[in-house]
Structure 1
Amino acid sequence: MQVYKNAGNTKRYLNGGADHHLSLRNDDSSQNRQINRLTVIFIILMTVVFLAVGRDESNKEANLINGAKCATIFYFLLGLLIFPQGPFERPHPIVWQIVFGASLLYMLFIAYLTFLRIDQIRTIMFWIDPDVKYTKREIDVIEEYAVNCSNVTKEQLYSVLNIYAVGHFFGWIAKALLLRSYVVCWSISILWELTELFFTDIIPNFRECWWDQILVDILGFNALGIWVGMKLCKYLELRKYRWESVKNIQMGKLQRIMIKFTTLRGSSKSWLSMSSSTRRTFYLFILIVFSILVELNVFFLKHFLRFPVSHPFCLIRIIMHLVVGAPAIRELYLHMTDITSAQQLPPQVLVFITTLSLETIVSIKIGAEEFTRTQSLKIISWLLVMVITTLACLSGLVFICKLQRGKKGKCVYDSTDDSCWEEVGKSE
């Protein structure tokens, strides 16, 4: 995958936006490229005209389906000319253009759902999959959760080895491959278990015994998944992410580190400047919050729309967010750790953040009645816990970096350095 060898390359990528792959060396090549674009658009339009005029239009339902298919194909073909390629070169830039197009299309679909009632959304679900009408959620099958927690038996231990346990393990392998940091992964893992405690009034199956949350989830499948994922990062020679960007941080005592990350200095116009430690705190907070929302929206949507976690709706959404999350996290990392990067967030990051925000809006709208069961104090406490987790995560990153730096001496941590990933070579 693409390696950014200097800050200038990163700056050109992030400043280029959607047109960074269209830069040309001279006017002749630019003219040829414009001619090629017009040729492709002309061929697409002629194909659409031929298909639209030369087909039987007697079937109304077929007209709607074929029209939607044609619009989607036209959208992706035209998008290959204008969508950004993303931060990766492998397996091919076109793949990441298609990923960006798919994420943008999904975002527009979620925006459309914000204007529908829950019965209208379920009507769309029934049209896509009629069997979803007869499916049952986990809470419709299991009457009680977290009962007899003090009496641990073999039956209870076997009962936790379910689809959620498997999801924890493989999910954290994927997250470790995306985040590439033990500290960030562990912070989000612990924060998720705390998040479940705050939302048990809305999602009953968030109720778990203490030993299930701590021993089975955090110290069990989560820890194993993070370890396997990080070992895969090393085996595949993936660049290790340095979210702390400590090349501009003077190492000191832990108290001084906390003060540096929590104190706002400078004018109101410079609190998010490219060299500001507050900027790194803010973007890491975004990373942690939206990592939690990816998981939380899964439970909200399946609970309010009444389908189980094993349904393809859940699986397709999780896979889509996993694939889209790879370039989004990479773009955020480059933007966050490089002081020469553009002020604006990269396109894939903006689409990813907007999509998750819209999903949250849809969840709150269709589950407004159930959200009233949760006290406002719990929501405020949850937000406060996320802020504290972000600060603790940053402090842990810098503290570990200080220890490693003391052992290796010459190691310099910045967004382009890979020498501290043990013996692993430079690659993405």
Structure 2
Amino acid sequence: MAGKLNSATGSFSSPKGTGASRKGIDSRKGSVSSHSSGPKKVKKLNSLPISREINPKQQSEETCIANGGTEDAMYTPRTLSVLIVLLAVFLFMVRYCHYLDMDVVSSVKLGLAASGVSFIAFGATHLPDSMLLRPHPSFWRAVLAVGVLYLALLSFLLFQSLDTIRAILLLHDPSLKSLPEERQYAEDCRIFTSDDPFLFVRTTFDIFIVAHTLGYFAKTIIVRDWRASTCISVVFEIVEVTFQHALPNFKECWWDHLLLDVLICNGGGTLLGILALRIFHARRYNWVLSDNVKSKCGKARRFISQLVPQSLVPYEWNVFLSPKRFVQFLLLLSLMTLQELNTFTVKHILHIPPKHHLVVLRLVMWLFLAIPAVCEYYFYISGLDPTNKLGPSVWVSVVNLLFEVVLAGKLAVEGNYFQEPMPGYIAIPWIISLISLCIWFAIFFGVLTLKQRMEKRCLLYAISSVFFYFGCGCVLAMFAMGMPDLQIGREAFQRYVYPYERYIIFWR
């Protein structure tokens, strides 16, 4: 292919050294834009203004079809083929999966599954493309379709009572009738016991160790920055201590919080993610069109390489560059933490076991939905998206998260869950910390210039640092007092602060 396609802007550029004019034809819209070797400006393509070229150092190669990829058979639209396959699958289901003597519940399950498959097939064919290409654009369109289906499900559940939702879950899985046993992780915090030396190993190392490691490997791949992944890990441990009065499952020993979770599981997953980022960032493939690969071994290698990303360029979040950038990253951190918190609150209210397939399927859905969502969000806040609007994956993800929060709050009120007030040794340090961090934010971003922030020498910078570390120290003190086995300083704090607690937390 003579011209190369810039997938982020949708523009075609002629190769260097050619004086003949070229024509770039958009296959979806049918619009034609003429190009020449001279500096002729492209006005519009796909009805979107082309404002600027994206810096190739910032642009992930996943967003580009290299070497004329639009002519590759791998990326050729297959709308008619999908239609034929969908029809064949439905005929097979009607013939071999549906029986006249099926009960109502089984028939409804089969019908809902067929409805979901048909919508996913439509979405994989006609929904808007993501910025990601590997393993295939239709895969990410199907992921977006699953997110839309989940949004429709949440919209339906918002208008059902707690008893109705539990009845629906019992129709889906009658085993949910029995209450799940919530494992308590802080009953015995001894690392070694003489009567049972292997008690620590048996009670600690379970399937959730692997789940934590794989989860933070995936988070590192999603955010593409080890510092952001570590922030998510530390913040969620703080969230666990903060809300352990409402969710007893959050009560853990000190070594479970710090050693197993932060260092071994989450830290190990983050290190594996960093290794994957470095491998795929440094790796370069000599991509050729699949039609040009003649040998069977070559086609097999081409197919396998299609399943992995061409590169994983790290994201440059630049958290402290500007107040806007700081808030944007803080929003991402809050949403990712909120997704994890929703997992525990919803399954606690609906009495769903942690290993149930519904919990696993939801986490898998969020894993694949977060990959294009974070990519689109990063391009949007970095000014690299020529459309200058949130992508569809970001929009669907944010709405799903907010709907989950609304649903959890509604069900908690109906079932009288989470009624116990937050203890003073948790709430008061948080109040002081938030006030201190707000003062730091005002000085650091409102008073100091970018040059002063970079030099780190002036008096105001030192004052802002005092407020920052004081706020972090309050959170650390809350964490130390909140751990159920250590309770460092809790008794002294309650003794001195209890007489003034009603004035500090006056809204109770």
2:123 to 61, 79, 104: 79
Alignment of 1:114-125 (within 5 A): 114-125=158-169
**Letter of the structure 2 residue corresponding to residue 84 of structure 1:** P
Give the Å deviation of 1:208.
1.4
CA distance in 1, matches of 2:347, 2:385: 42
Q: Which has the higher contact order (CA 8 A, sep 6+)?
A: 1
State the SS of the aligned residue for 1:10.
Answer: coil
CA distance in 2, matches of 1:21, 1:309: 47
Correspondence 1:166 to 2:210:
yes
CA distance in 2, matches of 1:48, 1:240: 42
Contact 1:76 1:101 in 2 (8 A): yes
CA deviation profile, 1:106-148 (whole Å, cap 9, x unmatched): 1110121111122211111112222222351324xx4xx5246
**Partner in structure 1 of residue 8 of structure 2:** 10
Correspondence 1:286 to 2:347:
no
**Partner in structure 2 of residue 104 of structure 1:** 148
Correspondence 1:367 to 2:412:
yes
Correspondence 1:146 to 2:193:
no
Greater CA radius of gyration, 1 or 2? 2
CA distance in 1, matches of 2:411, 2:317: 36
Q: TM-score, normalised by structure 1?
A: 0.68
Correspondence 1:23 to 2:29:
yes
Give the Å deviation of 1:166.
2.3
Change in CA separation of 1:39 and 1:317 when aligned onto 2, cut-off 3 Å: closer
**Letter of the structure 1 residue corresponding to residue 417 of structure 2:** E
Contact 1:198 1:382 in 2 (8 A): no
Structure 1, unmatched stretches of 5+, are 14-19, 31-35, 246-256, 263-277, 404-428
Contact 1:195 1:382 in 2 (8 A): no
CA distance in 1, matches of 2:151, 2:317: 27
Change in CA separation of 1:78 and 1:218 when aligned onto 2, cut-off 3 Å: closer
1:244 to 313, 318, 323: 318
CA deviation profile, 1:381-425 (whole Å, cap 9, x unmatched): 49976996998xx99xx9xxx89xxxxxxxxxxxxxxxxxxxxxx
Contact 1:297 1:359 in 2 (8 A): yes
Change in CA separation of 1:383 and 1:216 when aligned onto 2, cut-off 3 Å: farther
Give the Å deviation of 1:164.
2.9
1:313 to 331, 350, 358: 358
CA deviation profile, 1:321-355 (whole Å, cap 9, x unmatched): 00111111111111111266444311110100111
Change in CA separation of 1:42 and 1:213 when aligned onto 2, cut-off 3 Å: closer
Change in CA separation of 1:222 and 1:74 when aligned onto 2, cut-off 3 Å: closer
State the SS of the aligned residue for 1:241.
Answer: coil
CA distance in 2, matches of 1:198, 1:95: 38
CA distance in 2, matches of 1:125, 1:386: 43
CA deviation profile, 1:240-282 (whole Å, cap 9, x unmatched): 111128xxxxxxxxxxx5xx634xxxxxxxxxxxxxxx1x223
Give the Å deviation of 1:152.
3.7
Contact 1:180 1:240 in 2 (8 A): yes
1:301 to 314, 333, 346: 346
Correspondence 1:179 to 2:185:
no
CA distance in 2, matches of 1:230, 1:167: 18
Contact 1:289 1:386 in 2 (8 A): no
State the SS of the aligned residue for 1:236.
Answer: helix
**Partner in structure 2 of residue 355 of structure 1:** 400
Contact 2:121 2:142 in 1 (8 A): no
**Letter of the structure 2 residue corresponding to residue 346 of structure 1:** G
**Letter of the structure 2 residue corresponding to residue 212 of structure 1:** D
CA distance in 2, matches of 1:107, 1:375: 31
RMSD over aligned CA atoms reads: 4.2
CA distance in 1, matches of 2:432, 2:349: 22
Aligned residues: 343
Contact 1:76 1:98 in 2 (8 A): yes
**Letter of the structure 1 residue corresponding to residue 418 of structure 2:** F
**Letter of the structure 1 residue corresponding to residue 206 of structure 2:** N
**Letter of the structure 1 residue corresponding to residue 322 of structure 2:** F
**Partner in structure 2 of residue 409 of structure 1:** none
State the SS of the aligned residue for 1:371.
Answer: coil
**Letter of the structure 2 residue corresponding to residue 123 of structure 1:** A
Change in CA separation of 1:122 and 1:88 when aligned onto 2, cut-off 3 Å: same
**Letter of the structure 2 residue corresponding to residue 239 of structure 1:** V
**Partner in structure 2 of residue 422 of structure 1:** none
Contact 2:379 2:385 in 1 (8 A): no
Alignment of 1:32-43 (within 5 A): none
State the SS of the aligned residue for 2:417.
Answer: helix
Correspondence 1:336 to 2:410:
no
CA distance in 1, matches of 2:409, 2:343: 13
Structure with greater helix percent: 1
Correspondence 1:91 to 2:114:
no
